[in-house]
Amino acid sequence: MKQDMIVILDLGSTQNTVLAREIRDLGVYSEIYPHDIAPQALKDLPNVRGVILFGGENRVVDGQEIDVDPALYDTGLPFMAIDHAPARCGLTFASWEQAQPHIREFVFETCGAQANWNMKNFIDDQVEAIRAQVGDSKVLLALSGGVDSSVVAALLIRAIGKQLVCVHVNHGLMRKGESESVIEVFRNQMDANLIYVDATDRYLDKLAGVSDPERKRKIIGAEFIRIFEEEARKLDGIEFLGQGTIYPDIIESGTKTAKMVKSHHNVGGLPEDMKFQLVEPLKQLFKDEVRQCGLQLGLPESMVYRQPFPGPGLGVRCLGAITRERLEAVRESDAILREEFEKAGLNKRVWQYFTIVPDFKSVGVRDNARCFDYPVIIRAVNTVDAMTASVERLDWDVLERITGRILKEVKNVNRVCYDVSPKPTATIEWE
């Protein structure tokens, strides 16, 4: 890595990502590492110019207060501490609010870091790292057509060209028309080496009767790898699996001082006997940085700003045990929501919007008779980095139009609700 770096050591703060983003906004790269990093491991990190110890409310782990190895102070690097007062660190602040005005001074004057963190340098570094890691081997990439997988594909194509083999797996949990769109854009327009696998029945059979969200994610993740192994056996030289893991995926899957919010299929759901080595060039980027990377790589804006879509797809929006009936209700209501948002110009204003169908029914009236059907829940949120999110205040006329269409056009549905819960305390997805 050519860029200078400021290391943040996690001593229990919930503001680590806020600090990392603030430093990156100054044009200096920053990464978060666990508090117990070894002195030699810190020395081995490239171009480290300084270290910030960031303490907080999660500093007590298993009944004991965590701290860094005192030998870290002998590395010769400048240190700064927030909410933590080690004897050998002279620059300390009692709170994030007190420290914030001094971040720029510490980064540039105390540490002497250069503002050389930008997407061009990041891409150059990753191209070099990918080539060094992969060599002459081939990389298999799951290409969903979402932002993360599309940017990974573009980055891998720049680095290794035809050594990349893209696979689109239709697990039956895709949005309406999604697979057809992926084939059209990537195979027909971008001339990607794309393999299409229809695994709908295979996935739904595996997921039948499974209601626990974590089990669902792990089944989807494990089956994802199995299908890739099968496709890899048909090819020569496949040793690597490319993935669109990004920084919020890793953070939300749990750290040493923070509980897991949810496991991600590309972080915690991979089988232990996986035969591939991972290539994850975006794993230190926040979502907005991934989009910047995509634009720098020359991807069209329509692709870079495409709606975020979770790896498990509609499987985490068909709550509880997945049935084909409710899955179809999610798919059709989601398509209506996207159509109406585009008509109202909301698709350019709202970061993520989708529908959810829970595993319970309520009484209603249809054709002058009692009915017992599912509700559809609408979710529409805005965020920068997916770590926090606010709810979009929809115009009442838009909500009425969406509701009317869903109740008229979607089978087995008799109610439409709007989720007004921000993150936190809610998450963006329901599962």
Q: Does the annotation list 150 as a binding residue?
A: yes
Q: Which two tokens stand for residue 145?
A: 């057509």
| 161: nearest Cα among 132, 127, 188 | 127
Q: Does the annotation list 148 as a binding residue?
A: yes
Q: Which two tokens stand for residue 431?
A: 């599962």
Query: Using N-to-C axis directions, what is the helix angle for 396-409 and 324-343, rounded to 10°?
Result: 140
Distance from C-alpha of 278 to C-alpha of 273, rounded to nearest angstrom: 13
The residues near 404 (Cβ < 8 Å, ≥ 6 apart) are none
Task: Please answer whether residues 39 and 75 qualify as being in contact, where contact means their C-beta atoms are separated by less than 8 angstroms.
Answer: yes
Task: Please answer whether residues 54 and 19 qualify as being in contact, where contact means their C-beta atoms are separated by less than 8 angstroms.
Answer: yes
Distance from C-alpha of 20 to C-alpha of 32, rounded to nearest angstrom: 7
| Burial of 74: CB neighbours in 10 Å, binned 0-12, 13-18, 19+ | exposed
| 374: nearest Cα among 296, 301, 319, 300 | 319
Q: Does the annotation list 302 as a binding residue?
A: no
Cis peptide before 425 (omega within 30 of 0): yes
| 213: nearest Cα among 293, 139, 78, 318 | 318
Q: Which two tokens stand for residue 421?
A: 């819960």
| 6: nearest Cα among 41, 288, 19, 285 | 19
| 344: nearest Cα among 380, 291, 384 | 380
Q: Does the annotation list 420 as a binding residue?
A: no
The residues near 391 (Cβ < 8 Å, ≥ 6 apart) are 380, 381, 382, 419, 420, 421, 422
Judged by phi (left if over 0) then psi (alpha if -120 to 50, else beta), residue 255 lies in beta
Q: Does the annotation list 244 as a binding residue?
A: no
CA 276 to chain centre: 21
Angle (CA) 257 261 264, round 5°: 110
Q: Which residues are annotated as a binding site for ATP?
A: 144-150
Q: Which residues are annotated as a binding site?
A: 144-150
